[in-house]
A and B are shown apart, each in its own frame.
Chain A
């Protein structure tokens, strides 16, 4: 427990470091944020599909709202620790970071958080354009659901971050895990609600997919911030999020510790 107290004490400074880092790479960060535009493309195709009538309960406004929400959630629950670890472990630059009293994962988490304001900045013009395009879009978050939305975003980010740590820790064994991670990422785009609302999938597939961790990262926060789910209805999907956050955190912790021990055994 001692490390967590230390982490809590150090976190404000870590956040400041992370913020400075993000400020110095602001242009690159904005460009990175702009590359996450896949939901925009999907919005156009689903808009055409719904032009002749609603599809599975979604009309054009519902789709516009859903994908605007997806863009927002994607920017806020994203993480890139797997790429940091791939780079640091392969080049050995992780060694000095490991000597510090707090592990490098804390700084990665702080950087993710520090990037949020910049990522929001990218969102503003895009979301404004979508709102001008479909003024009636379904994007209505009630004040009462704001805490739930914030918690869902935080849980979604945790699931994504810890899964990435697991893949990153794989590098301790294989030296490169970017390729395997991209396989996971492909499944993520299909089964998280990133490219289409999951309820549009055939029921048989959906009944399997809803048990997987993917929807915790995108679909659950999206359905809350668009007002699709509210009140007590948010509890079940959030319990799913919480369960996966705990599982992934435990898995990340275990693989990280094992990996570190192995890394030391290299003597690198």
Chain B
């Protein structure tokens, strides 16, 4: 024990050293290249964002190399870098052979097509390097592979390909938390700029005002999309870890596809963040044409990163549906499935199908830039509204992808802590499916002011308001479950209750945006921003933290510190309420969204300052949470039993969960949520 922990401390020190060396090396390389290309040195080169991105890339590579040696993710990243360069050089060579221009120092060196192709090759190379394709390659050659792969013991297995759904679930969750920090950091940066009218802060980081405005736009756009990817990975983490345990399966239906789904998201994240090094993009996360056709090359990395990450979502959803349909324990009929399983299926129906449409819209916009295909160019018979239709066909249902698992977690945890049966189980189960299906018919409510055909407005208004019905079912169920319950409130329950309150605010601020007449006023204001953040925090962030606090003992055998957990909750909740309510207030008074500066005469300065302080307090609460995790992980195993006195099968076996889940299959013999009813049994182990 002492030996292994001292070795890992040694590794960590080496990793940090290599991180420093890699970062400096990348930065120097970037500045050197800039000097070579422009033929002279200038001290402002040390502020180049591309050089810093190169430094971060090499630093990350160095960090993992110091930690692991040439293994797993390190191999993947090396392959990705080499693959990207190979792709770039191939396209450049072809362009040179055809007599076309292939080098332009003013536009990040290579032609846009070379960058895009290179990034795509890099993503595939990453997957080959990390080893996510190895078994499939063997299958194509007709070689058999063994059904069970034993992981190496210890923490190294988390940094390479593992087929165990529990390892993959934790890989997803940790990656999600990392991206959450990155996305949050972006938000803090532009929130500082917004604290006061005028431009003060980003101008310090950049050589001139245009660059500062570009940086603001890129940070704001990246905040959106990085958070979205983080959420997608977060729900994938929760689903991957829990659903097989809840239904009594040994693993997911397709373990290799499961590993692929996780690992494909890693190069996607690298590509996405790489956009910052290629000029960023100024379109917001929506990437609307025709603005997108004029954005810097960074937008191509944004499109491609999302496109690649989309495969993670699609294939993960496919796997989940197959798992639930094929691998449930004996006796687990549809209406004896836990609500979280219902919610995961509902989410997966959307991810599996609709994700293809955002992929298509981004692909079309990429092709418009690369090949001049004028899909969205009115002068050549194109239609920019088409982009919005294709984009929102996914991107609205996507918010249900984000919140349905979270709402499932709420329904899952409430009966445990209220010691009462879940009220209206069947209705709650079906409400998830209802939200998912109605969600397919509402997308154009994002386009009331876009200039689409006016006769489309009213039907989309009504279909959108219809979503309130199944969502209302959930709220009635939660309130009725709490009613006269013996409520206990440890940290997970606090986050569940906080989630309900915040999601209610998100829900109530929704109808004004869905109603055409009021939306014409509210569209593109901070009111929408406040509404959206309420739904995301209430439907995802709070339940996600609740799930981590609740299932952490299951995964590790250690319980997160209650005091620090309460600090986390009581710091985050009021701060978030200030943030979102002030957003809605300034929005109602006319504060536009997505802008770096605002008129001081509007009197929004103090409100924005308060929002910025609130944002920093939220960040502080998350730092406390991270500290809690590290502190708890370093403590010895203490909680091996049924920590929360739950009826669910995963708590009836020892923690941490054994490698192949249940030693013997269990049988479902009763209802899942009959808490407090004497003599009722859910599973027979």
Answer whether A and B are interacting partners: no
Chain B interface (Cβ within 8 Å of chain A)?
none
Chain A interface residues (CB < 8 Å from chain B): none
